[in-house]
Amino acid sequence: MSKVIQRVDKQGEIVERREQIKEIIKEIEDGTEDLKIVAFMEHTTPPETVKPKVIKFQQVIKLLKLLAEDNPIEKGVAKIMLYSPSTGRSRGLTPTMMPGFQYIKAGMQTKPHSHNMSSIYLVVRGKGYSVVGGKKLEWEEGDVFVVPANMVHYHVNTSKDEDAILFDVTDSGLLENLGILEFREEE
SS3 readout for the chain: CCCCCCCCCCHHHHHCCCHHHHHHHHHHHHCCCCCCCCCCCCCCCCCCCCCCCCCCHHHHHHHHHHHHHCCCCCCCEEEEECCCHHHHHHCCCCCCCEEEEEEECCCCECCCEEECCCEEEEEEECEEEEEECCEEEEEECCCEEEECCCCCEEEEECCCCCCEEEEEEECHHHHHHHCCCCEEECC
- The predicted-structure confidence for 109-126, as pLDDT tens digits, reads as follows 999 999 999 999 999 999
- The predicted-structure confidence for 6-43, as pLDDT tens digits, reads as follows 556 666 667 777 788 888 888 888 877 788 776 665 55
- The predicted-structure confidence for 55-95, as pLDDT tens digits, reads as follows 999 999 999 999 999 899 899 999 999 988 888 767 788 88
Question: Percent of the chain, pLDDT > 70?
Answer: 86
Phi–psi pair at 110, nearest 5 degrees = -85, 165
How many angstroms separate the CA atoms of 158 and 137, rounded?
12
- The predicted-structure confidence for 127-175, as pLDDT tens digits, reads as follows 999 999 999 999 999 999 999 999 999 999 999 999 999 999 999 888 8
* Average pLDDT, integer, range 169-186: 86
pLDDT at 2: 47
pTM of the model: 0.76
Q: Residue 94: which of 146, 49, 60, 44 has the closest Cα?
A: 49
pLDDT at 140: 98
More confident residue, 10 or 180: 180
